[in-house]
């Protein structure tokens, strides 16, 4: 499992807010914008792993790609991604992180 800069609880918070839809859009946008560059790149990479664009063992490559290809604010890019919550959840699971346990800690 790769070493994550971003806390799994932060990823789960993004998942929960993205499931809420428009009512949580402002909070979600602010939360993602407040993450540092490494955390934003890892959040994007987790979504890409979950979507199948990268394999879990290619996580570091996905992070590097997220950094070099970032042309728009991360919050705009991720909020425009269809199935963001599902992609992040699948990405965490692919990386060996227990999403259910993290969700229970937040709720």
- Contacts for 69-73 with beta carbons within 8 Å, 24 or more apart? 70/40, 70/41, 70/44, 73/33
Q: What is residue 57's predicted lDDT score, i.e. its pLDDT?
A: 96
Alpha helices in the chain (DSSP H): 8-20, 25-34, 37-51, 59-68, 74-79, 84-94, 99-106
pLDDT tens, residue order, the chain (107 aa): 678 999 999 999 999 999 998 999 999 999 999 999 999 999 999 999 999 999 999 999 999 999 999 899 999 999 999 999 999 999 999 999 988 877 777 76
pLDDT score of 101: 77
Cα–Cα–Cα angle for 95, 97, 98, nearest 5°?
Answer: 145
pLDDT at position 1 is 64
State pTM to two decimals: 0.93
Q: Which two tokens stand for residue 84?
A: 């963001």
């Amino acid at each position: 499992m790769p070493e994550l800069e971003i806390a799994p609880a932060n990823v789960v918070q993004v998942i929960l807010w993205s499931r809420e839809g428009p009512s949580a859009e402002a909070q979600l946008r602010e939360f993602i914008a407040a993450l540092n560059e490494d955390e934003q790149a890892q959040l994007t990479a987790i979504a890409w792993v979950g979507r199948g664009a990268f394999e879990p063992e290619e996580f570091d490559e996905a992070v590097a790609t997220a950094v070099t290809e970032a042309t728009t604010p991360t919050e705009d890019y991720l909020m425009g991604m269809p199935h963001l919550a599902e992609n992040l959840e699948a990405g965490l699971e692919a990386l060996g992180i227990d999403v259910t346990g993290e969700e229970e800690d937040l709720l």
